[in-house]
Amino acid sequence: KAVPDRIDFDPYPWQSFANWISSQLVRWDLQGDEKVKSAITSENYDQVGKEIFLTDLARELAQEVGQTPPTEIYRTETLEFDTFDPAKPQEYVDEQIKKYGF
């Protein structure tokens, strides 16, 4: 059965979403050794995201095959219960910890 709007997915690798993912790595410290906090600092969220998501390369490749990708790399990310401002990733982490206690 064809359901054209079944999945609402944007395959563009937004730099803003890379910043959100990085913020979650910092917040949850899944390794438990706080090394991620030295690798991802408030000063280098953008750099880390660019190295992982390769937004510029994705845009270039999309253009090569005739697509018209967004010219912007950042947007406010709308999440389930709030929004994420990619210009303030560390503030978001601090706010989440304060609000939810972890």
d(CA 86, CA 88): 5
Kindly state whether residue 25 falls inside one of the protein's structural domains.
yes
Instruction: Map residue 79 onto helix, strand or coil.
Output: coil
pTM of the full structure: 0.85
Kindly state whether residue 57 falls inside one of the protein's structural domains.
yes
For 30-65, the pLDDT digits (tens) are 889 989 999 999 999 999 999 989 999 999 999 999
Kindly state whether residue 7 falls inside one of the protein's structural domains.
no
Structural domain boundaries enclosing 84: 15-100
Q: How many domains does one find in the chain?
A: 1
Kindly state whether residue 10 falls inside one of the protein's structural domains.
no
For 73-99, the pLDDT digits (tens) are 999 999 988 999 999 999 999 999 999
Instruction: Map residue 83 onto helix, strand or coil.
Output: strand
Looking at residue 32, the DSSP 8-state letter turns out to be S
